[in-house]
Chain A
Amino acid sequence: MTPVLRCAGLTRSFGALRAVAGVDLTIAPGARHALIGPNGAGKSTLFKLVTGTMQADEGRVELAGRDVTGLSEVRRCRMGMSQTLQHSSLFGSMTAAETVELAVQRHNASRISPVRSTRPATRERAEALLADVGLGGRGGVLVPALSHGERKQLEVALALACRPRLLLLDEPAAGMSPAESSRLVELLAGLPSEITVLFVEHDLDLVFSLADAVTVLHLGQVLLSGTPDEVRASEAVREAYLGTGRRSELFGPAAETSGGSDVPAGS
């Protein structure tokens, strides 16, 4: 089967710092693939290279077997790559519904008319998407009036409105309450298998409850790629996160029972 996403030798430097250094990454169709790693591991840069926001110095990116390395972010999005950003970045003058309509109208069959206004079908689909992410009935609220968690939910609705083949989520649960974050897990787990998900997340509880594959990034390189169990058992991963800390601090039962315990990533 052709992987949905394949990165080979992806490299990007900022001056002397090699933020991403020769990363190979293969995402199988239908996967719920997590990308983890301590702060500064290069996760966000890798994300930008994949989405096309930033061009790679070396290496290639393939989307469903097609080389998209030289293509713009816009083209990649049109080919089925859709993303949410780490810091929610939306439209200050619009309501939640208008925001989603903007994405829906771009990715349905009809073209963007310079004459006609929003079609009822667009409106209905936007409403359905809002309901899917738990924002049903909040469509008329202006984006700045939404709570942080609601904005993150709106980001997901916006990404889904692009009818993605590959959904890229950059810290989707950051700043969410435990209830909001479990609702998000439910939503992501319930996505059809045609949508492959690659997500960056610091909350390891969320990672292990959702992911069926995990890639650990450390200092710009892939430390380990494998199943969640392999990652849990890895000594190298533990060291990367905690230096020479104790294993129980990271994956111990205490961490697993207390909901929403973030990894001490900054340490």
Chain B
Amino acid sequence: MSILLFALMGCDTGGCLTGEEGCRVEPACTSLAFECSGGVATFSRVQPGGVELFGNTIVQSPGDWVLQNGQVYVVISDLDHPHFIAPTGGNLVDVATFAPDGTLRQDDSLRNLYQVGGLLPTEAANWQRIEAFMDGENAVVQVVGTYDDDPDVALATRYELGPCDPGLRIRTELLNGHHEPESVFLADGLYIGGRESIGFTPGLGLTHPSFGLSTLLDGIVDVPWMVSGAHEEPGSAHALVACDQESISGILSEEIIAFGAEPRLLQPGDFISHERFFGVAHGSSIAAGADLALEVRRQLFGEAYTTVTGTVTTPGDDAPDFRAGRPHVVVWKGDITPDPEDPSQEAWTHVEPGPDGAFSFRVPTGGTYTAQVERFGLPWGRATFDASGDAATLTVPMEPPGRVTLDVTVDGEADYALVVVYPADEATLAATQTKYLGHFETCAPMLGHPFGAAPSCNRVVVNGPTTLSLPPGTYDFFAAAGPFASIDVARGVSVGAVEPGTSPQDLPLALESLPILDPGMLTADFHVHGSASFDSSIPDGDRVRAFLASRLDVIAATDHDKVHDYAETLAALDAGRRLQVLVGLETTGHILQPLLDSSLFPKVVGHWIVWPLPMDPEGPWRGAPWDEKAQPGMLFTRFEDQGWPRETGVIQLNHPWGGLQFGRDFGWATALEMDLTKPLDGPDAPEGHRLFSSTPMGSRFANSDYHVQEVMNGTNNGQFLQYRAVWHYLLNQGVPHGGTANSDSHTLGGNVLGFPLNVVTTDQAVGTGFQQATFNASVKRGEMFGTNGPVVLARVVDGDVAHRPRVDVAIPPTGTLEVELRAASWVPVTEVRIYVDGELVETFDPGMADDAARPGVRSATFSRPMASLVSSGSDHWVVVEAGGPLLPFADFDCDGIPDTDDNDGDGVVTPADIEVDEGDPRPEPDDDGCFETTGPLDGIIDTLALPADDFAAVVPGGYPLSFTNPFLVDGDGNGTFEGVAR
């Protein structure tokens, strides 16, 4: 018998899992049947000029594959068009629905759906073959491949669309070709990026167990179905229902959803399959997808459902706006008072009423349910219904909201401005603070989705009289137009529920532009996102209006992994005469790769910004290169290959130090595990330091060939100390780059545009004559300062020569440092700090006073002989900072980077400020007094507290701060700056 078996060893039965040509994966979900009139399923490939989907979430491009049938339109990326964390194409990238009249709706809300067999980078599907064919009336796209970088694990997926299907029937097979068993979690990963879609499962609802990379099993749930809802319009919901098993297993977070077959052990040579229906339904609510999931469950498992139609009403409101405050209905099992903290309560769906207050949803038949309306993120009405039959009706009363009409003028005329609303007292704060569906940031009040269309969180952009709905309470309204305008505040405004026959109360707010900056200066933000980024839902119109309200002169449009230029919206709003948009990109590494031999963990290379990049309206990344699996030098090479001009373009290192998001480092210096107490090169340089300057194989650039580095990022100044530490270190090492200050604003909520910003000294002006190359040259030379309010104008006057800070010129150690400070009166400037070679040599209160020549502006001047700051004989550098005092900090792990601030609020930073998980032992120092566990260092985080002052209200989480770029001092007289002698 053994001999017979050996004779058979050479035979293989073939199939897609062996890569056989012409193979066919079995059809999935064959017992599902959908009916419609005249449906025809087809497949096609997108031709040049044939992109049919539009919008900021779309990546459809020529070469991609399309399945459509008059119900849904599905785009599967071509193999050479990988997106986000997928290593290749062959994945679902755009899905939209058709209206009953056959119009293709532009309601795509999908970033990416791709298959994985686990959560390691190598366990993602690397598709190597793709083909489309008809199987009877059904259109099929089939992909065959292996694990990424592991050809011994084979995968195959069949995406199939029937003539009337409201989604895809999908079957995936995976073969373990290793000689050892593998842990396999065969699942669909939906990359939702944070700040966008929210996942929902029946029972748990919108809230799911938290987990980390090492505690994934804690987060896995087994549920009948899962729906990802867009919560924005236009939008669509996506439903996943297993066809070959009664439940589906997975994890949900704000960044990624992964659902599939239950994790299991797969022995060598064995294979598994997973069949599911991926439904697509038009609408921003969970109910759009949940209704579809329940119909699938009815067909597969005989589970009955009840269709509920209803309406919300607002008795007493004679001008109801059923969309104000983003009301939504969450439906719970039983007659209960919903309590999000009660794990025994089961949520079964979520729906948003239409403009007329009407809604419809399905729930499993049987028993009583409670429908709770939430408005402004708060409980706002409740009703119960019986779901014992096929249908039910429901009316849910809502109390009317309060309303005010904001009338903001700038320099006497209606113009764009930002209005921020705060509770004026503790009672209103307690009554209004909430999260949007339990997710994202806490807002008080929650005027709208914190990351979607305006109003967002507690902010709104106005232009002319604007009526705002909000919960009753007492509020302060702050109007602002960037750091170089006055602010106006309406304090203690009492807002009650609107009453019939009354008009909203008027709130006039007047702003004035302030003469703070000199001619020859432009304000700029080099790090801005909109909904073209995977982690933003703000529509272009709201985004551009926010640009205009910030009074920024120059914006670099830097969306994640995709080029977007706002051209249409800029033209529609006639914004080009007052705003210059530089078209660029932020690369965002998703696919972990081996980086350091000395590190166990694969890494990404942080985030990099580049501009300009020519936009390609049909390119898979709209003009950007694929930015995965590359060190920075190779990224720069790809930029150049995509048309980035080496001589005149700019590359910026973003937030060089920072935490992890799902195992991905935000900061390049963090990924390199840099130790700022060690040299950058030489025999004692750590591996990461050597990689900092190396040139990757095949690249035309070194990893260090960037031009500027963020020193301030975000409205919260918390990590400024870390970014500055990296910048100072590199200056000392003789690697000067200009320092920038950017908001990294993604939406109206979160980071505030213009706080911080750069003030660039340039002879360019916004408008048709703007020469970007000239402007960029100023940026690369470091002819700018960064600020979130204080203006610091520094120069070194040496005889009849006045030197400005620059990173390309070294000045002699002579002359006088002359500094003029200016700030709007609402921006307190109480401290100046002078740094030489990174060491604080002097700090003092500059004594700001009202500037007689500049109404509304406070100013001060001081000077210091350069000889008192720097010595001859060796090179030095000088930076001036101004604003408020720095928050206290410490470097407990002794790597030269601040890591801990005053977390216990006692005014000093000691090891007691190191936070540890409950039950864990307190960290102990080693023999050198250094700690392995440190942190956090996150600045002012209690932005929900009633603002301490007007600055805190407009710049939440920030303290006043500005910095100059360095004066490089050629102390040894050899004509160049070579770093600081140590």
Q: Do A and B bind each other?
A: no
Chain B interface residues toward A at CB < 8 A: none
